[in-house]
Amino acid sequence: MFKSLLLKFVKSLRNDSHYCCSQVPNVLHVLQSQNVGEKIEVKGWVKSLRKQKENVFVDISDGSTGKKLQVLVPQKLFPAGITAGASITAEGILSLSPRGQIELSAENIKIVGKCVLDSYPFAPRKQYQPEYIRQYLHLRPRTNTFSSILRVRSSAVLAIHKYLNSEGYTNVHTPVLTSNDCEGAGEVFKAIPDDINLLKTMVKDKVPLEEAFFDTKTFLSVSGQLHLEAAAHALSKVYTFGPTFRAENSRTRFHLSEFYMLEAEIAFLDNIQDLIMIIEKLIKHVTKSLLDASDNDLKFCHGENKLDLTWINKNFPILTYDEAVAIIKKRSKQFKAEFDDKVGISKEHEIFLVNYCGGIPTFIINWPKSIKPFYMRECENDSTRVASLDLLAPGVGEIVGGSLRENDYNKLKEKLPNSNAQLNWYLDLRKYGGVPTGGFGLGFERYLLLLLGINNIKDVIPFPRWPHNCSL
């Protein structure tokens, strides 16, 4: 008895549903369709409105495209209370404006939600500085520029996944919570349950209370590289693309406390030129596909006609670290600080070097071993240098770091930062069918700065976190 009742109920629910989301076209579809004469309903937000004698012209957006749909509303149908920022539904017939643009001649228009203009921080058609807009992170997606950025960012994510998949990479989610501190740089956040009573119920003998949840100190990952290497020793080509963290008090326009990194690791890779080609091909391919997919939004971010990504058709120059330093030292007078071998190449130097190489992204290879992490492999003909690379981008500086990894068990064992057992598993990879591997990490937000011509990294991530700032 129960079952037949159930099935009847299920059936009636399904027949009643009208599936609004698939029926209502979005603004992008409407503008692309050009179906003059069609009767449609659209839903969106009022970006601006102009009242004329008989009609009101309402520009609406639903975020599906940066372009607005103009809705022509006869004065007598125009409800009181519709202002910029309000959400509406409009029903009517698609027609062509005198200028040949598709527009909606509304027969019915309704307010969904009013906008309290007194306290709304963005006035229609007004330009604001990014620093001002950043004070309202929860409303920022409503601005034209930031909604363009969000769409491009989303397209870039998809383009990266699709490209790496087509190249035979497996996406391996490396963990955020880790008991390793990858590069041993110490600039890490630790994670602790907020509930001290929970910790008390879990604590074991000889374990500090703070570490009772996992029985070990636990950090937020600064890199998934070591974990990726484990996967590369079985799947050959792997990548991870997720959030990474730095507890650094860096307040430049290139630093975030939480940022996205694309990291890839490739087995049987044993020379730096191959790694260079892999990175160059990735960046060019993804950028080209975005020029197709996100053309309007890219142009909007750069300012019409200013989009200059000509580097995608050029070979990326390659300098050795020593060559780069020689070039810097020859021009030492133009820099704020003198070149210091212990500090290495600064942001100022990076941007200079790219300009020197014609404004094309430039690889710097073969870095001094002394300033690079323990896992990098020495150059074959110079044990003071490691087979590593940075890729510097115009106006941004470093966007990629990569290297070959030390794959000799004994050499790696000597180099391990601490003698405890914490990284024995990493050493193990070289003990059981070890292979040469190499890989890289691309700072996703820095790549977006390059792609979008945006000045500050806080403006290419939906919810930026930096020192003294973690709102929402």
Of 258, 260, 261, 262, the closest CA to residue 189 belongs to: 258
Minimum distance from CB of 383 to a second copy (Å)?
A: 21
Non-local (6+) Cβ contacts of 89 within 8 A are 41, 42, 43, 109, 110, 112
Is 12 or 75 the residue whose CB approaches a second copy more closely?
A: 12
Q: Give me the least distance between CB of 259 and a second copy, in Å please.
A: 10
Query: Hey, what are 190's tokens?
Result: 């630790």
Q: Please, which residues have CB within 8 angstroms of residue 254's CB and are 6 or more apart in sequence? A: 347, 396, 397, 446, 449, 457
Whole-number Å distance between alpha carbons of 35 and 19 = 22
Give the nearer residue to a second copy in terms of CB position, either 52 or 421: 421
Of 240, 235, 268, 250, the C-alpha closest to 178 is: 240
104 residue type, one letter:
L
Q: Which CB atom, from 202 or from 309, has the smaller least distance to a second copy?
A: 202
Owner of token pair 């940022």? 259
Say how far apart CA 389 and CA 318 lie, in whole Å. 9
| Stretch (H or E) spanning 6 | helix 2-16
Q: From the CB of 210, what's the least distance to a second copy, in Å?
A: 10
Q: Least distance to a second copy from the beta carbon of 5, Å?
A: 8
CB of 29 to a second copy, least distance (A): 8
Q: Closer to a second copy at the Cβ: 55 or 180?
A: 180
Which of residues 33 and 469 has its CB atom nearest to a second copy in the complex? 469
Alpha helices by DSSP H, 134-170:
144-166
Which of 297, 291, 292, 294 has the alpha carbon at shortest distance from 67?
Answer: 297
Query: Minimum distance from CB of 74 to a second copy (Å)?
Result: 23
Q: Is the distance from CB of 192 to CB of 210 less than 8 angstroms?
A: yes
| Nearest residue (CB) to a second copy, 187 versus 378 | 187
Q: What is the CA radius of gyration of the chain?
A: 27
Cβ 192 to a second copy, closest distance in Å?
A: 6
Least spacing, CB of residue 99 vs a second copy, in Å = 26
On whether the CB atoms of residues 144 and 303 are closer than 8 A, the answer is: no
Of 97 and 179, the one with the shorter C-beta distance to a second copy is: 179
d(CA 433, CA 414): 20
Which residue lies nearer to a second copy by CB, 97 or 216? 216
**Beta bridge pairs of residue 12:** none
Check if the beta carbon of residue 463 is closer than 8 Å to that of residue 137: yes
For residue 51, the cross-strand partners are 56
CB of 60 to a second copy, least distance (A): 11
Q: At its nearest, how many Å lie between a second copy and the CB of residue 394?
A: 16
Cβ count near 328 (within 10 Å):
21
Residue closer to a second copy (CB basis): 9 or 338: 9
Of the candidates 385, 338, 342, the one whose C-alpha atom is nearest the C-alpha of residue 364 is: 385
Structure-token pair, residue 465: 């976190």
* Paired tokens of 432: 């059981």
Q: Looking at beta carbons only, is 363 or 369 nearer to a second copy? A: 363
